[in-house]
Amino acid sequence: MDLDALRKIGYGMYVIGARKGEQLNAQIANTVFQITSEPATVAVSINKKNLTNEYIKASRVFSASILHEATPLLYIGNFGFRSGRDTDKLKGVNYKIGVTKSPIFLDHATAYLEAEVIQDIDVGTHTIFIGRIVATEVLNDEACMTYDYYHQVKKGTTPKTAPSYIPGDKGGN
């Protein structure tokens, strides 16, 4: 079966901020989407192997900083291609602590949201966390980075732990 069709699905690019007590972590995700409008809820799909998954399960909160188009590839790589188990991803990166006490990343964001998890759904390799929005802010009018732009223009790659990994993609773990 030709899975190239899955590359046509549209996404944005996000830094997901998470905590477990006072410990903070973050990772890149592209599968953030609104679920209902009343109340306003969003979902994010996170690999069970990822530290962020463990942190969200522990604290029941997360943030999503929505990246703009001009975000440098190195900034994404810092969050996306290594594990918070091996390194402090937040070292040298600007962030603020939100109302959920999750870290929020402002350097290349056009907006952010914070959510409290109301449901988590086991979907095999990943967990879908559904969160009720508790805070949001629009930061500027910059164009949002699309996942397609990240691949086509920025020449970014996808790690194997991403929901949208397709066999044959280059990319780290």
For a second copy, the binding residues (CB under 8 A) are: 1-6, 8-13, 31-43, 45, 66, 110-113, 119, 121, 123-126, 128, 130, 133-138, 144-148, 160, 162-167
| CA–CA gap between residue 168 and residue 126 (Å, rounded) | 20
Q: For residue 77, list its beta bridge partners.
A: none
For a second copy, the closer of residues 97 and 123 by Cβ is 123
CB of 124 to a second copy, least distance (A): 5
| CA–CA gap between residue 155 and residue 150 (Å, rounded) | 6
CB of 20 to a second copy, least distance (A): 24
For a second copy, the closer of residues 41 and 53 by Cβ is 41
CB of 137 to a second copy, least distance (A): 6
Q: Are 173 and 161 spatial neighbours (Cβ–Cβ below 8 Å)?
A: yes
Q: Which two tokens stand for residue 120?
A: 């988590």
Q: How many CB atoms lie within 10 A of CB 69?
A: 16
CB of 43 to a second copy, least distance (A): 7
CB of 88 to a second copy, least distance (A): 27
For a second copy, the closer of residues 88 and 137 by Cβ is 137
For a second copy, the closer of residues 23 and 159 by Cβ is 159
For a second copy, the closer of residues 93 and 144 by Cβ is 144
135: nearest Cα among 102, 107, 108 = 102
151-160: long-range pairs with CB below 8 Å, 24+: 151/7, 154/73, 155/73, 156/73, 156/76, 159/80, 159/81
